């Protein structure tokens, strides 16, 4: 980890902010990316000289490409790119409109696509690198119907992640990973489009420190698919291995509390 250059999007709060702090503590050079400059600089001040700030809207392709260019120009290397920016939604499938769906795809999928495409030429040229896409358990199993379009977006992100990994089989030192947290104690829920339950109030919510630690471990020991809490992988296997997935959807953990706005 020492002196690796790691770009972290969505670094102004939550998992991204904690991840940046943990990476800096382990000796990485961290580039914090988000729209909110004040918050980014506050986090960078905690990390110290190993942190750089890049204010950018990752839903804009040119902004993401600029982050990659500036990082290489200023630091001379780029080793890991973490696509962490994202946002939830509180609407059932029957309630979704075009703007809802488009925003979920833009924030949760296209921003990551822009990141992958921005860094790939450099990784190919040097023959190594690591892309980490922060997905969600909702990208594997539909445990919260009111997060419908978010779940769909994370399913799409998982598909892009796997397909890119297969595309890069000729580059064994370029790793592509998906990380799947469950409920995390951040402002994700209350910041969801159309409002929602504060994730910090939900029982059993995982701390952002635990999720960040799982991402750090993935950088140190690259794996394709990472679950951040015990039992999560087995739940996915049980769901898709069931004779009838509909039967599993009738019992916990597929019956979460109703949304609250």
Among candidate residues 57, 53, 25, the one with its CA nearest the CA of residue 40: 53
Measure Cα distances from 253 to 108, 183, 248, 256 in Å: 24, 12, 9, 6
The helix/strand count (H/E) of the chain reads as 9, 7
Among candidate residues 46, 44, 41, 50, the one with its CA nearest the CA of residue 2: 50
Instruction: Give, as one character, the DSSP assignment of residue 199.
Output: G
Instruction: Check if the beta carbon of residue 240 is closer than 8 Å to that of residue 218.
Output: no
Two tokens, residue 206 = 């995982």
Instruction: Give, as one character, the DSSP assignment of residue 206.
Output: B
14: left (phi > 0), else alpha (psi -120 to 50), else beta?
Answer: left
Count CB-CB contacts under 10 A for residue 113: 18
List active site positions: 150
Please give the Cα distance from 220 to 28 (Å, whole number): 11
- CA torsion sign, 226 to 231 to 233 to 235? negative
Bridge partners (DSSP) of residue 51 are 30
């Amino acid at each position: 980890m020492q002196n690796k250059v790691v770009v972290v999007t969505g670094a102004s709060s939550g998992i991204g902010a904690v991840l940046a702090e943990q990476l800096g503590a382990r000796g990485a050079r961290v580039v914090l990316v988000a729209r909110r400059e004040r918050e980014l600089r506050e986090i960078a001040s905690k990390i110290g000289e190993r942190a750089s700030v890049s204010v950018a809207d990752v839903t804009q392709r040119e902004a993401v490409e600029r982050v990659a260019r500036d990082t290489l120009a200023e630091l001379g290397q780029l080793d890991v790119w973490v696509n962490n920016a994202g946002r939830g939604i509180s609407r059932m499938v029957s309630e979704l409109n075009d703007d809802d769906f488009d925003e979920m795809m833009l924030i949760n999928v296209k921003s990551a696509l822009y990141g992958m495409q921005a860094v790939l030429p450099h990784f190919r040229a040097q023959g190594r690198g690591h892309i980490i896409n922060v997905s969600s358990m909702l990208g594997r199993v539909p445990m919260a119907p009111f997060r419908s379009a978010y779940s769909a977006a994370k399913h799409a992100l998982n598909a892009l992640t796997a397909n890119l990994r297969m595309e890069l089989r000729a580059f064994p030192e370029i790793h592509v990973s998906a990380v799947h947290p469950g409920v995390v104690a951040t402002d994700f829920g209350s910041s969801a489009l159309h409002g929602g339950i504060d994730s910090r109030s939900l029982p059993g919510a995982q701390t952002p420190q635990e999720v960040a630690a799982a991402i750090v471990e993935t950088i140190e020991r690259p794996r394709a698919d990472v679950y951040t809490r015990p039992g999560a992988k087995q739940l996915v296997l049980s769901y898709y291995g069931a004779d009838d997935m509909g039967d599993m959807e009738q019992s916990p953990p597929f019956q979460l509390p109703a949304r609250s706005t």
